[in-house]
Structure 1
């Protein structure tokens, strides 16, 4: 395929990419024939020159042929495979719109969006004991606004979406939101961070709607301590949700916020959960946010956690290969099915490879979890802005993203939202 043709900036180039996707995902199909996307697409939605290059076809088994004919056909198939691969490389190297990139070369491909500020727990590290004033409903994002934001981000190459809260499952329309986001072109993964209390009854419908990943918060394996941390009695429901989610979703992770003299002594017990279960347990350093009464006396560092784990498991621990933009140092115990890891936001931050931004339930864009700078996308949309103007607002905010956060010593004095109002 002529590389010049595929580098055209026609707004329909994403259609080409979506039609090529199924071909690349199935090497068997590529090696035998070209197939069309099962989703009907009008001819007018594809550039004319591209329709001449890649035409939907219906496969008809060829008649028997002699060896010379077979060699000729094999040569043609090889040339067509090369053409497809060239098209895919062009598609991957040049998105429809440029990525949201900051001044340090970090391209952002991961959007975390809070669906609500409401939660059915009152966790010590997230919700102030006195509660919080909720944003009036008219000031929260509507479902259409949520989907529009996802569409704009996806057009710039942001393919991974995580839905947070509050607790996302308290929304009656949660499943419908997942379904609508899944329908957005370019979105490849949808995950949720949940406390596991109410979501347990909706696991299958959420999977059917397009949810692929589930992170479940569980800070103690002791029911009484769990109630002390969350100020709610829901331990058994969470354990049932974890069990039922295994095997249903592509990944199930258990998030544990570790606090000194609260649950630090349970770290090895959590790792034992991975012995016969395909779970990923992640230990998160306690982080300072508004109203969570963070003190260094409660802080239990990655180094402290590691010493505890190493003392228990020794040379049976081995490191797993990091994936690009990963926030977790991942490990496995030899002979265990699952894995565990550490999110070291405070002591060994991963700012240099950060590829994520957040949108709060009231529509504010936060380019850094630990920064207090925000831009209202809600106000921009409600002022009548076009998608191009919304994109420009996002791009400018991302450009202002700092190289790294201020560090635990300074963050504890920085005024920031409570975690419940940011989105876990």
Structure 2
């Protein structure tokens, strides 16, 4: 029975039951963590050959990988990911670990030096970014750190709320937007081809409006179906806005998260712009690591084969999350959650006004959750209902205990609120 249908006596009985369950949680002296979407040790083990296999040759594509230079990265590796990302090889850069660094640098370069379309540095005027939410907290942290004003818009099942997007891009101060197009963090949404085409053709007041297309989960399927991302670069080019999109990706959740390779795709003009600035701060990426990756992965199919092995590790964890949420919360009407076909997260919406309380209860019971509101700009969830669940890192037994504990906290917070009404 849902909480809405319970009498006050029944609500008090439910509250007492959850208080008892919560007291037992606290007595268990737990130390569990489902805060961040990190690969587990079992997933990292899949790429241990990167640590031990000798390079077959120190010259790759005619380049001595031990030496300086090669700002665009090794063609051998770029060609593998160009196929996966649907980007021409000469429009794709391979750099060092963490695509977040490339996103940060792209914004800093625009703030300090302007863009190919507009030489005036962004810092010389107001700068605003559209932030579909729930979204990726690190995107929002970059904006906040750089003083870029964030505008929250809804992230829907097929992409950002385009009514809101069209409204806001009429402001020339709106210079761009963040977007995780495939298996969005944290909802698992996939931007449809129709929405991507509309974004590409959008009439924006800022001539250098940018879509920061963070394709972090381009190959991270949780089913046998491989979902391809929309060809945003091709759509932008055919719409007369070739420089609009900057595409980011990495091997962080493909090989070794702490020692991967990042990628930036863009128009030829954007690639030249980016390289003109990175040439000042680096004499080239870690080509030894790139050569190891090219050798280890072999081909685009090699990447997909490796991701199928990741899927074998991840699927039981995501199934456990779905099972516990359904069994513990499904009949009470106190929460909704996503059942993603890929990516690294499950998005949980609890009773309005209780997410902060749920996170607090969990913390006091030894279960670490991402802060309530973290998936919104400035950490402000207007409904205080959203919680991001990251099932990937803990062993299955720990994940099970964490989810059972989380369910207790959700029910306890919901019963408290219902009785306080």
Whether the TM-score (by the shorter chain) exceeds 0.5 is: no
Larger radius of gyration: 1
Structure (1/2) with the larger helix percentage? 2
- Normalization by structure 1: what TM-score? 0.28
Greater relative contact order (CA < 8 Å, ≥ 6 in sequence): 2
Give the TM-score normalised by structure 2: 0.28
